[in-house]
């Protein structure tokens, strides 16, 4: 296969400075504020984004160790194939987070529910569209067996408000 080169469009800023204390999904980062600071060269592309309440951040897990094809996810102690998880140690360490867009000030997007490490390179931004981004009667594999209390406790990973 051919190599693919991606260039960051900006950086994510957040209060998260240690991976082991960063919530594992935006669901477990409710109310945690952060920003996406987009390079001014891409400001024109932010037009009309402020009409959306939520956006997808696509980013690089830039501080992970070697990829693993089998991982033990944070919510469970049983190993699973990496593609059946959202673990960061992937062959292509690409992250995806659905965050709330609070407001836009020029090239800075003010966000909430941020579960991304401070200084993470931002690759792309996409609007969340409820009409397209939901799946009726979705099955969630092994995650369907995790009770809410366990998910809440493990998902926050020790993060304190």
**Tens-digit pLDDT profile for residues 11-69:** 999 999 998 888 888 888 899 999 999 999 999 999 999 999 999 999 999 999 999 99
Q: What angle do CA 76, 77, 83 make, to 5 degrees?
A: 65
Q: Are 26 and 98 in contact (CB under 8 A)?
A: yes
Residue-level pLDDT at 154: 63
Most distant CA pair in the chain, distance? 45
Model confidence at 157: pLDDT above 70: no
Does the residue 109 lie in any domain?
yes
Whether 1 is covered by a domain: the verdict is no
Domain contains 115? yes
Q: Is 4 among the domain residues?
A: no
The answer to whether residue 75 sits within a structural domain is yes
Tell me whether residue 2 is in a domain. Answer: no
- Which CATH number belongs to the domain containing residue 14 in this structure? 2.40.30.70
Relative to beta strand 70-71, strand 80-81 is: antiparallel
E strand segments, the chain: 10-13, 33-38, 54-60, 70-71, 80-81, 94-105, 108-112, 120-127
What distance in Å separates the CA atoms of residue 46 and residue 4, rounded to the nearest whole number? 24
| Domain span including residue 30 | 10-156
Domain total in the chain: 1
pLDDT digits (tens, 9 = 90+) for 95-129: 999 999 999 999 999 999 999 999 999 999 999 99
- The helix/strand/coil state of 14 is coil
CA 66 to chain CA centroid, Å, is: 19
Q: How confident is the model at residue 76 (pLDDT cuts 50, 70, 90)?
A: confident
Classify residue 161: in a domain, yes or no: no
Tell me if 131 is assigned to some domain: yes
Write out the E strands in 39-146: 54-60, 70-71, 80-81, 94-105, 108-112, 120-127
């Amino acid at each position: 296969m051919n190599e693919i080169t991606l260039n960051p469009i900006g950086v994510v800023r957040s209060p998260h400075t240690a991976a082991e204390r960063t919530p594992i999904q935006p669901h477990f980062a409710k109310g945690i504020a952060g920003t996406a600071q987009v390079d001014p060269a891409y400001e024109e592309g932010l037009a009309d984004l402020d009409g959306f309440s939520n956006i997808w951040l696509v980013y690089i897990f830039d501080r992970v160790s070697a990829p693993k094809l089998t991982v033990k996810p944070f919510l469970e102690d049983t190993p699973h194939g990496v593609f059946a998880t959202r673990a960061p140690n992937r062959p292509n360490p690409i992250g995806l987070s659905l965050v709330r867009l609070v407001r836009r000030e020029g090239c800075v997007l003010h966000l909430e529910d941020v579960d991304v490490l401070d200084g993470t390179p931002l690759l792309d931004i996409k609007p969340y569209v409820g009409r397209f981004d939901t799946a009726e009667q979705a099955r969630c594999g092994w995650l369907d067996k995790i009770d809410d209390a366990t998910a809440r406790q493990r998902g926050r990973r020790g993060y304190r408000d």
